Structure 1
Amino acid sequence: MKPLLCLAELLCHAGLHATYVNPPPTHQRLANRQALSTHFPTLHFESISDGLPEDDPRTLNSQLLIALKTSIRPHFRELLKTISLKAESNDALVPPPSCIVTDGLVTFAFDVAEELGLPILSYNVPCPRYLWTCLCLPKLIENGQLPFQDDDMNVEITGVPGMEGLLRRQDLPGFCRVKQADHPSLQFAINETQTLKRSSALILDTVYELDAPCISHMALTFPKIYTLGPLHALLNSQIGDMSRGLASHGSLWKSDLNCMTWLDSQPSKSVIYVSFGTLVHLTHAQVIEFWYGLVNSGHPFLWVMRSDITSGDHQIPAELEKGTKERGYIVDWVSQEEVLAHKSVGGFLTHSGWNSTLESIVAGLPMICWPNLGDHYIISRTVCRQWKIGLQLNENCDRSNIESMVQTLMGPKREEIQSSMDAISKLARDSVAEGGSSHNNLEQLIEYIRNLQHQN
C-alpha cells in the first residue's frame, strides 16, 4: 500500500489524475483519505468488493491471491466502466482511465486491462532481485537446480544472471523448497510472475545504481522499466515538509507519539529500533528470545510489538518487565520514517521487508536482518553479503545471538558497516534529488502517461 500511495501522490503532484482502489476493509482503515484528497485534488479513492467475508483475515498466501483473481475481477471491470461513463457525461471530476497501474501481485488486472484496451503498468512490491529470481525459475527448473536434489541449503544458485556468487538455496522463497517441479505453489508463483511480461512498463521501487546488474537483464524482457526508488524519499523530495504533515503514506495503524518524547531523552545513536513490519508473526517463544536479547544487550531499545504479532495471552518474566522499564519502550505502532530519522536511533533490527530496508537506507541506519518470508531472504542476503550494511541473524533467534548482534551493531565495531551504509545512503538520496536517476525516471514516467492520455 504505502509505496503505491506515494506513487499516486507523485502523479497527482504532477497534475495527473489517479484513482486509488482498495477493498472495503483497507479503504475504511485509511483514515487520512480526506486530508490527502484536500492536498491532492486529483487524487481519488474508490472501494470495490474483494468477494471475501468481512471477518476474513485476508492472510497473504496463494489461496487468497487465487480467490482475488476470480472474485474481484468483475468488480474492478465494473468500476473502470463506471468511471468512463461518468467521464463521457462531462459532469465528472475524473477523466476516463488512460492506463492501469497495478500491484504486481494483482494479476487479474491484466485481463481487465486487455479486455478494455488499456495499457497496464506493473508496480512490484518485492525487491527487483526477488522479481528477477522469480522470472528465472523456469530456467532453474530446466537446468536441474529446482527442485533441490538434497537438503543442503548452502548450495549456490547459479542460474540467475546478475546475481552470480550471491544466492544460495536458503535465500530462495519458501515455494522453491517443494519436492516436485509441478507443485501447485511453485507453478502458481511461476505463472503469476510470467504474467508481468504482458506489462506496457515495469515500475520498480529501487535505486537504479543499486540494482543495475539485474535491471540490465530484465530490460531484455520488459519494453520500459522505471526505477523510482526510494519512493517515499522521492515524494519527500518533491513536496517537502508537507509529506510528513499529511502522514501521506497512509498507515492503517495509529502511531504512538509518546515514543518520540522517550527518544528525545536518549543519547545520540544509542537506541536499537525493532520492528517486524505488518505481516510477520512470532511465536511466544520467539518473542521471549528477542526480548531477553534486547534487555541483556544493555542498549536502549524501541520495539514495535503489534497487538497481533503473537497469539494468546502469556506471562512475561519479571526481569524482562524490569529491564524494559529501565531502558526500553514498547509500542503498538509508530511512524517508522520519523523514528528512523531521529538522532537517538543508531540501528534497526528488521524482518528485511523491502519498504523497511529502503527506509533504513535513506536514514543511513545499519541493520540486523531476520528474514521470514517472500523476498526477505534475498534482501537480507544482499544487505549483509553484498552491500555490507547489515548483520544477518540466524533463524533460531537465540537470545545470546541477538544480544551479541545488537552489541556489535551498536558498539565500537560498527564503523565498517556504517561506512558502507553512508555510501549507499548517499547514493539513494542523490537518486531522488534533481538530476538523479529516480527523479529523471519519474519525469519520463509522467510524460509517458500524459502521452497515453492524448492517445485516448
Structure 2
Amino acid sequence: MNTPIIVLALPYPAQGHVTPLMSFSQKLVENNGCKVIFVNTEINHNRFVSTKPKMAGEKDNNTLDDDDDDEWSSPIKLVSVTDGLSPEDEGTNNFAKQFVGLKSGMPPILEKLIEEYGVRCMVVDVTMGWALEVASKVGIKAALFFPASAAMFALMNNIPMLLHRRIIDSRGFPVTKRTFRLSESMPLMSTESLYWSKLADDDPINEQTVFDYLVYCGQTLTMTEWWLCNTAYDLEPAVFSFLPKILPIGPLLTSYNRNYVTTSFWEEDVSCMSWLDQQPRGSVVYVAFGSFSLLDEKQFNELAFGLELTNRPFLWVVRQDSIIINKNVTCKNDEFKGSRGKIVKWAPQQKVLNHPSIACFISHCGWNSTIEGLSNGIPFLCWPYFTDQIYDKMYICDELKVGLGFDTNENGLISRVEIKAKVDKLLGDENIRLRSLEIKKKIESNIEQGGRSSDNLNKFIKWLKE
C-alpha cells in the first residue's frame, strides 16, 4: 500500500475562506492518495466541529476527523490552533489585530504540526501567505490558494503598480475616487473595489496595519509556482490573459458529492429544502447576505416589506447577528414572512441554489455565493456589503450581464418599492435568464473531466505526488 501524501491546509479564519479550501481538501482525498490536516483557529474549529452531528450524509461516510480523537481515522483531520488574539478580542472583526496575531503566533505551531504529522506540502490561503516562509524553512512543498475571483488575485498582485500609478496612497487608500483597469483587456474596476480599504473601521493605525500585512502577503507570491484560484477560465478569461500564472481549479462545489460535509459555522436549517419542494418551479426569491453583512432596522424592515410586495414566495436567510437593533426596539423576524415566505437562520446554500424552484438570488455578492449562483444558472439582484463584493457586483451586472443592482433613495435606503421593481424587472428579462443558463453550461464544461479546471487540478495533484 502506498504511503498517503500528507497535506496541511491553512485557510484564513473566515467562513468564505474555509468553505472553498475544505472543498479543495475533499478533492485531494478523493481517490488521490492524500490525507489533509485542516487547520482552523480555535474559535472557528469549535463552531465547525459543533455542526458535525448535523452534517449531511450517513455517519460512516463522514470524511472529517477532529483533533479530540487520538487516532487519525478519516482522510481529513481538523486541528485547532490559537489565532494570537487576546480573550477580549476573540470573536470580533478587528482585522488588524487578527492579522498581527496570526503572523506572529502561528508559525511555530505550524512547524510542530508539520513535524508531528509528516506533512509533505502546505496549501495556504493567500491571506496567510507568510506561512510559505514556514514551508521554506522546514523544506517542504507549498502552494497558494485564493478563494475569491482571479481579478481580485490580480489586484493584490499589482499593488506596486497601483502605488506607482497614484491610484492608491501609501495606506492603500484611493487618491481620488475613480475607475481604472489593470490592463486594457481586463474589466473596469472602481476604487471602491479596493477590498483592503474597508477592513479597518476608520482607524489610521489599523488601516496601515491591514494594508502593510496584505502587501507583505502579496510579496510572498514569489515563493511558489502554484497560484490556485477558485474560479473557471471561462468566467474570467481576460484576467488569465493578463496574469497566466493564476491557475483556475473551480468552481469548487461539493454539496452534490456522496461524502459531502457542510463547512458551515452555523447549523443549517434543512427544513427549507422540503419547503422549496412545495413551491412552483422558478418562483422563489432567495435572499442571503453571507457571514459578515449587517442591516440596520430600517433597512431590514424595507427588505421585509419589499419581499412581501413582490407577491412571490421567498426564502430569506437571517443570521442571528445580522441585524443592528436598537436596544429599545423589538425586531421579530417571523412578523414579516407572511403566508408566502420562509425565514431561516442559515441554509445549505449550494443545495438551495440547485433547487428548481429558485427564480433569483438577492445576494451580497461574496465570491462563493457568486460562483454558486452562476454555476446553477441563477440571475442576481446585487446588494454588496464590503471588500471584493463591490467588484463582484460590477462584474455580474456590467460584464456578465446576469444581474441588476439596487438604487438607494435620498435616505440611503434601498426601499421596498425599489426591491419589488427590481425583482419584477429581473424576472421579466428573458435575455438575462438565457445568459445565466449559458454561463452555467460554460462552467460545467470547465469542471467536467477534460475541462480546464479539472485538468489544472490534475496537474497539481501530479506535482504533489512527484
TM bin (shorter chain):
0.7 to 0.9
User: Is the aligned partner of 1:105 residue 2:120?
Assistant: no
Q: 1:158 to 1:50 in 2, by over 3 A?
A: closer
Match of 1:408 among 405, 425, 442: 425
Matched letter for residue 137 of structure 2: E
Give the match for residue 78 of structure 1: 112
Contact 1:29–1:252 under 8 Å retained in 2: yes
Give the match for residue 433 of structure 1: 448
- State the distance in 1 between where 2:307 and 2:301 align: 10
Match of 2:312 among 280, 287, 299: 299
Q: What is the deviation of 1:265?
A: 2.0
CA-to-aligned-CA distance 1:177-211 (integer Å, 9 cap, x gap): 9999x955444333322322322311100111222
User: Is the aligned partner of 1:398 residue 2:420?
Assistant: no
Aligned pairs for 1:368-407 (under 5 A) are: 368-394=381-407, 396-399=412-415, 400-407=417-424
Q: 1:158 to 1:359 in 2, by over 3 A?
A: closer
The RMSD of aligned alpha carbons is 2.7
Contact 2:149–2:231 under 8 Å retained in 1: yes
Contact 2:99–2:213 under 8 Å retained in 1: no
User: Is the aligned partner of 1:15 residue 2:48?
Assistant: no
Give the match for residue 99 of structure 2: 65
Q: 1:80 to 1:301 in 2, by over 3 A?
A: same
Give the match for residue 198 of structure 1: 223
Aligned pairs for 1:338-357 (under 5 A) are: 338-357=351-370
Q: What is the deviation of 1:304?
A: 0.2
Q: 1:279 to 1:365 in 2, by over 3 A?
A: same
Q: 1:279 to 1:449 in 2, by over 3 A?
A: same
Matched letter for residue 249 of structure 2: L
Contact 1:133–1:160 under 8 Å retained in 2: no
Match of 2:147 among 99, 116, 125: 125
Q: What is the deviation of 1:28?
A: 2.3
Q: What is the deviation of 1:226?
A: 2.9
Contact 1:274–1:302 under 8 Å retained in 2: yes
CA-to-aligned-CA distance 1:375-395 (integer Å, 9 cap, x gap): 111111111100011112246
- State the distance in 2 between where 1:374 and 1:40 align: 38
How many residues matched?
418
Contact 2:401–2:435 under 8 Å retained in 1: yes
Match of 2:436 among 392, 411, 421: 421
Contact 1:3–1:249 under 8 Å retained in 2: no
Q: What is the deviation of 1:149?
A: 4.6
Q: 1:321 to 1:113 in 2, by over 3 A?
A: closer
Give the match for residue 42 of structure 1: 75
Give the match for residue 89 of structure 1: none
Contact 1:12–1:40 under 8 Å retained in 2: no
Note the residue ranges of structure 2 that are not aligned, 5 or more in a row. Answer: 1-17, 54-58, 66-71
Aligned pairs for 1:16-415 (under 5 A) are: 16-31=34-49, 32=52, 35-37=62-64, 41-53=74-86, 56-59=90-93, 61-83=95-117, 96-147=118-169, 148-150=174-176, 153=177, 155-160=178-183, 162-164=185-187, 166-173=188-195, 175=197, 183-219=208-244, 222=245, 225-232=246-253, 235=254, 241-243=257-259, 246=260, 248-312=261-325, 314-316=329-331, 324-394=337-407, 396-399=412-415, 400-410=417-427, 413-415=428-430
Q: 1:332 to 1:179 in 2, by over 3 A?
A: closer
TM-score, length-scaled by structure 2: 0.83
Task: State the identity %.
Answer: 26
Q: What is the deviation of 1:278?
A: 0.9
Q: 1:52 to 1:111 in 2, by over 3 A?
A: same
Q: What is the deviation of 1:261?
A: 2.4
Q: What is the deviation of 1:60?
A: 6.0
Q: What is the deviation of 1:360?
A: 0.4
Give the match for residue 442 of structure 1: 457
- State the distance in 1 between where 2:299 and 2:110 align: 40
Helix, strand or coil at the partner of 2:319: coil
Matched letter for residue 423 of structure 1: E
Helix, strand or coil at the partner of 1:105: helix
Matched letter for residue 195 of structure 1: T
Q: 1:40 to 1:431 in 2, by over 3 A?
A: farther
Helix, strand or coil at the partner of 2:342: strand
Contact 1:176–1:186 under 8 Å retained in 2: no
- State the distance in 2 between where 1:43 and 1:423 align: 35
Contact 1:19–1:46 under 8 Å retained in 2: yes
- State the distance in 2 between where 1:47 and 1:184 align: 25
- State the distance in 2 between where 1:173 and 1:252 align: 23
Q: What is the deviation of 1:116?
A: 0.8
Q: What is the deviation of 1:252?
A: 2.0
Matched letter for residue 103 of structure 2: K
Q: 1:10 to 1:297 in 2, by over 3 A?
A: same
Matched letter for residue 301 of structure 2: I
Which of the pair is proportionally richer in strand?
A: 2
- State the distance in 1 between where 2:43 and 2:87 align: 7
Contact 2:196–2:211 under 8 Å retained in 1: no
Q: What is the deviation of 1:285?
A: 2.2
Q: 1:158 to 1:200 in 2, by over 3 A?
A: closer
CA-to-aligned-CA distance 1:332-352 (integer Å, 9 cap, x gap): 011011111112110000000
Contact 1:171–1:381 under 8 Å retained in 2: no
Q: What is the deviation of 1:316?
A: 4.3
Q: What is the deviation of 1:76?
A: 1.6
Helix, strand or coil at the partner of 2:216: helix
CA-to-aligned-CA distance 1:141-165 (integer Å, 9 cap, x gap): 2122224454xx4x3213445425x
Helix, strand or coil at the partner of 2:337: helix
Q: What is the deviation of 1:437?
A: 0.9
- State the distance in 2 between where 1:358 and 1:329 align: 24
TM-score, length-scaled by structure 1: 0.84
Higher mean alpha-carbon deviation, 116-125 vs 378-387, is at: 116-125
